[in-house]
Amino acid sequence: MSAIQPAQSPFDHDRFFTFTVNDETHNGSIHFLTHYAEKPDFVEVLRNSFFRNETYDDARADWHRNTTSFHAWVKAHMLRLAWDCQETLLHHFLKSFPTVCRDFGFPVENNRDTSGAPSQSRLWEMWNQEFTDVQREYVRTATEEALAFAREQGIPAPDPVFRPKERDITSKRSKQRLVAEKTKEVWQQAKPFVTDTFYLKRAENSVIHENAFWEQHAYMGMRENMYAQSGQHSFYIDSQRDRTPSASNHRYQIGKLTVEETRSML
């Protein structure tokens, strides 16, 4: 969906757009210079395309960002989507044309340097593991805008067959957020009852508040395949408590309560 663009721009053409992920609307843009060869194609369009500073929370380590920019990966996957091809073909193409690889933003030292071409596995990892849902949708929408621009300029461009009519873009992060919200809702209702009725058999000099044990137990119990050994780390981060039970301490204190003792607290 294209949006209104500012009046002044250093580029020959600007396309501003919005896209929606999980009911949240984001702004994006792609910009073009038109100093093409005699018979430009879609690759030439991408070589002369530019982006502003939108990275949509690029969470890669600093050394990754310093080596290869986020938008180099964006251009590579824009080409893959436009061609409707796999990462293997994209890798071979970029390795065969170092100048294209360089213009996309990958670290290529000269016109014969093929070492900067991203591997097939790295291309796959970036798209499937490191890009977020927002970043992937940004790439898809930017690709459609670039294809539309190319056709407007009379430049041959692939049909946008890469985009299915409906996409499920509900991320793991949004599912985790839903679980967290439900856990908080359940715990807020249960907390007065649990903390007033249930108790642990601990020494008087204990330093970790008893509520932390019950909160951690509720936190892990609401999540599929989460256990004390791994769950206590997640609880420590999410709860922001200064002190939380270790995995062994959690199991030990909860495990000291027999079934009969637990029933007697009800």
18 and 131 fall within a common domain: yes
Q: Is residue 79 part of a domain?
A: yes
Q: Is residue 159 part of a domain?
A: no
pTM of the model: 0.56
Enumerate residues 6+ apart whose C-beta is below 8 A from 181.
none
Q: Is residue 167 part of a domain?
A: no
In which domain, by residue range, is 250 found?
172-264
131 and 231 fall within a common domain: no
Q: Is residue 72 part of a domain?
A: yes
Query: 7-43 burial, b for 16+ CB within 10 Å, e for fewer?
Result: eeeeeeebbbbebebeeeebebbbbbeeeeeeebebb
Whether 43 contacts 79, CB under 8 Å: yes
Structural domains in the chain (count): 2
Q: Is residue 45 part of a domain?
A: yes
Tokens describing residue 57: 């929370």
31 and 132 fall within a common domain: yes
| Confidence at residue 46, expressed as pLDDT on a 0 to 100 scale | 93
- Region for residue 138 given its phi and psi (left: phi exceeds 0; alpha: psi -120 to 50; beta: otherwise): alpha
Q: Is residue 190 part of a domain?
A: yes
111 and 242 fall within a common domain: no
Q: Is residue 162 part of a domain?
A: no
Q: In a structure prediction context, what are the per-residue pLDDT tens digits for the chain, which is 266 residues long?
A: 444 444 566 778 888 999 999 989 999 999 998 877 667 888 889 999 998 877 776 665 554 555 788 899 999 999 999 988 889 989 988 998 899 999 999 988 888 888 889 999 999 999 998 899 999 999 999 999 999 898 888 888 776 443 444 445 444 445 555 555 665 566 566 555 555 566 677 777 677 777 777 777 777 765 655 555 556 666 665 666 777 777 777 777 777 777 777 777 65
Q: Is residue 238 part of a domain?
A: yes
Enumerate residues 6+ apart whose C-beta is below 8 A from 186.
218, 222
Whether 71 contacts 105, CB under 8 Å: yes
80 and 209 fall within a common domain: no
| Confidence at residue 85, expressed as pLDDT on a 0 to 100 scale | 87
